[in-house]
Amino acid sequence: MNENSRYAAGIDIGTTEVRAVVAKFDKEGEPSIVGVASVENSGMKKGIVNHSENTYRAIDKALAEAEKMSGQTCDNIAISVNGANILSTKTDGMVAVSSPDGLIDDNDIERVKEVAIVGKVPEGCEILRFVPYYYNVDNQERVPDPYRMEGNRLEVCGNILSAPISQIENIEGVFERVGDFNSKIYYPSVVASARAVLTEKQKENGVVVVDLGASTTGVAIYEDENLQFVKVIPLGGINITNDLAICLKVSPEVAEEIKIKHGHAFEREENHDIVVKHGREHYSFNTQEIDEIIEARLEEIFDEVKKVLKESGFENQLPSGIVLTGGGAELKGIDNFVKNYLQLATQISKNGIERTVSDKVKKLKYSAAVGLLIEMRDITSENSNYSEDYPEQVGFFAKFFKKKQ
């Protein structure tokens, strides 16, 4: 087996940065992070490619740096997809079991999935992933894995994640220039983040992940262990930075520094004057002025989150509350702000990675890149469950995930 096939890269294409994480997987499928890199990106706008050359350069450099750190090249990659046009669509399908002995095989499972997804997404959209909730075999309901069960009728209920074809094609065109890969998957950024930061207990109880990015805020809602709803809001940390730049009459670079070093999302006990040094310039502000600007934009963002919760129908069904992730979740006091503004239990996430060559991968902005690796592992694990001979097309982890007898 090619040693490179034990390695994979998760590439999160953000509006301001591309983050690449390379992992080596052991025989149980557990990852060790062996390469990490982030590179500035000026080729995206609100999650969409708007300058392919700049996006290509950022991705190519980030992947090359992460691979250099790992000492390996990656033939298998998982790529984030973002933007307000990401859709989640609940669906179901049913087929008759085809084998004469009535035992459900991989062909039956693939056929029922196909029935569930065909014609279920808007024209012009590409399916990124079908997430099965459960299967029904005759009168036996909510079966997690029907493989080799006996029955006459097989049903599936699940969620289709999709994005505009043009959006995927633009990203695909960039990666064709980056290199040739054995396998690529595309996955919504906020759902990837959720894969990295949520516990099974949270997903079972009911929880919402809010991924605070530079130009977008992703919302993913889970209940009964399953992804129930996804929405991407076209507002993020850049909007706060721009507000500070306009109101304080400073450059965006100075405004970003003010936000990171001195910004606060929740009312402080005491306000005070600060001096910000940037190059040869000195700027004086009061923290109350800074916080009021930040709070005004946060209220707008989380008003939109409120609307998403209401639209989803889960606003009163989230015992595990809100889990914040993404670079914007590093804003001081944001957990207290969200808790008070939405009246829901709120916590800052952790991505749970223990084995890593660099602790910077534990920063919140790397959640999506880490989650992409987890998703790629699990997709391949699912596929290998239905393969006796582990054909090459099953994926790069196939030989590590043998079907449980």
Q: What is the DSSP code string of 191-248?
A: HHHHHHH--HHHHHH-EEEEEE-SS-EEEEEEETTEEEEEEEES--HHHHHHHHHHHH
For residue range 256-303, what is the model confidence (pLDDT) as tens digits?
999 999 999 987 878 899 999 888 889 999 999 999 999 999 999 999
pLDDT value at residue 381: 63
Distance CA 118, CA 95 (A): 13
Res 354 pLDDT > 90 = no
Q: What is the mean pLDDT of residues 328-355?
A: 93
- Residue 383 scores a pLDDT above 60: no
Identify which of 186, 121, 185 has the alpha carbon closest to the alpha carbon of residue 158. Answer: 121
Contacts 24+ apart (CB under 8 A), 172-179: 173/52, 174/49, 174/52, 174/55, 174/56, 174/59, 175/59, 175/77, 175/79, 177/56, 177/60, 178/56, 178/59, 178/60, 178/63
Residue where the block lists tokens 């290998």: 384
Query: pLDDT over 70 for what percent of the chain?
Result: 92
| 399: pLDDT strictly greater than 80 | no
Closest CA to 264 of 303, 295, 225: 295
Look at residue 158 in the predicted model and tell me its pLDDT: 97
- Residue 322: CA atoms inside 13 Å, Cβ hemisphere, count? 27
State residue 401's pLDDT score: 31
Rounded CA separation 279/240 (Å): 22
Nearest to 263 by CA among 310, 197, 332: 332
Lowest-confidence region among 93-107, 142-156, 184-198, 341-355 = 341-355
CATH topology of domain 87-164: Dna Ligase; domain 1 (3.30.1490)
Q: Which amino acid is at 271?
A: N
Whether the pLDDT of residue 392 is over 80: the answer is no
Strand 87-96, strand 153-164: pairing: antiparallel
What value does the mean pLDDT take over residues 39-48?
Answer: 95
Cross-strand pairs, 347: 323
**Rounded average pLDDT over 204-231:** 97
- Please indicate, yes or no, whether the overall pTM of this predicted structure exceeds 0.85: yes
- Assess whether pLDDT exceeds 70 at residue 19: yes
Distances (CA, A) of 144 to 111, 155, 194, 226: 17, 12, 20, 11
- Record the tokens describing residue 202, joined without a space: 């949270």
The domain limits of the chain are 3-84+165-193+352-400, 87-164, 203-348
What pLDDT score was predicted for residue 396? Answer: 33
Using CB atoms within 10 A of its CB, is residue 90 exposed (0-12), middle (13-18) or buried (19+)? Answer: middle
Task: Specify the amino acid at residue 314.
Answer: F
Q: What is the pLDDT confidence band of residue 350, given thresholds at 50, 70 and 90?
A: confident
Q: Which two tokens stand for residue 372?
A: 């992409």
| Position 149 pLDDT exceeds 60 | yes
Overall average pLDDT of the 305-333 stretch: 96
Which among 348, 305, 304 is positioned nearest to 330, based on CA atoms? 348
For 357-376, the pLDDT digits (tens) are: 899 999 999 999 999 999 98
Which candidate, 29, 10, 23, 24, places its Cα nearest to that of 79?
10
Comparing 11-15, 219-223, 270-274, which segment has the lowest mean pLDDT? 270-274
Q: What is the spatial distance between Cα 38 and Cα 16, in angstroms, rounded to a whole number?
A: 10
* pLDDT over 60 at 388, yes or no: no
Which homologous superfamily does the CATH classification assign to the domain defined by 3-84+165-193+352-400? ATPase, nucleotide binding domain (3.30.420.40)
Long-range contact pairs involving 269-277 (C-beta distance under 8 Å, separation at least 24): none
Flag whether pLDDT at 2 surpasses 70.
Answer: no
Residue 339 and residue 46 in contact, taking contact as beta carbons nearer than 8 Å: no
Closest CA to 69 of 34, 109, 25, 112: 34
Q: Do domains 3-84+165-193+352-400 and 203-348 have the same CATH topology?
A: yes
Q: What is the pLDDT of residue 328?
A: 97
Residue 89: φ, ψ to 5°: -130, 120
Instruction: Tell me which CATH code domain 203-348 carries.
Output: 3.30.420.40
CA distance 92 to 296: 42
Q: How confident is the model at residue 379 (pLDDT cuts 50, 70, 90)?
A: confident
The answer to whether residue 118 scores a pLDDT higher than 80 is yes
Mean pLDDT of 159-181: 96
Q: What is the pLDDT of residue 357?
A: 87
